[in-house]
Amino acid sequence: MEKQKIAILGGTGALGTGLALRWIKAGYSVIIGSRDSQKATAAANHLQEKWGVKAAQATDNVSAAEAGDIVVLTVPFAHQRSTLNSVQTQLKGKILIDVTVALAPPKVARVQLPPEGSAGIIAQNLLGEEVNVDLFAE
């Protein structure tokens, strides 16, 4: 049985590349997405140069969300809504693992719960029932 493709949106930061590294080593096909496809390519190149692992694809977030079977959101809370709005169509019928934690400047050392209750509730409300939102944090 072929393993599902995992797309990591905002996959150029420490969390995204860390998850990518481990999933690639476990034999998964990983797609690194970013608002800037050049940043995605740079992150994929870094993984290959430093760790000897190769991402299946490096692209923009919309293309990554379209290509992934499972999609992981690893953007800061400040970019959660805009990123989800940009990929809403591509996420229909898929599993979204949202690792967003509601940290807002200037007190990023402390979780500041939004009026909705959590970043996960924001994601599910925004995407509706057509997307299975699973939370990694909160």
- Each domain of the chain, given as residue ranges in start order, spans 6-135
The single-letter DSSP state of residue 10 is T
Q: What is the pLDDT of residue 117?
A: 83
pLDDT at 124 over 80: yes
pLDDT band with cut points at 50, 70 and 90 for residue 131: very high
Residue 130: what pLDDT?
92
Architecture (CATH level 2) of domain 6-135: 3-Layer(aba) Sandwich (3.40)
d(CA 95, CA 123): 12
pLDDT for the residue numbered 104:
67
Q: What percent of the chain has pLDDT over 90?
A: 76
pLDDT in tens, 64-95: 999 999 999 999 999 999 999 999 999 999 99
Q: Which two tokens stand for residue 4?
A: 């599902």
Query: In sequence order, which residues have a C-beta less than 8 Å from that of residue 19 and are 6 or more positions away?
Result: 8, 11, 72, 74
Is the pLDDT at 50 greater than 80, yes or no? Answer: yes
pLDDT in the model for residue 21: 96
34: β partners = 60
- 3-state SS, residue 95: strand
Task: Write down the pTM of the prediction.
Answer: 0.91
Per-residue pLDDT band at 3 (split at 50, 70, 90): confident
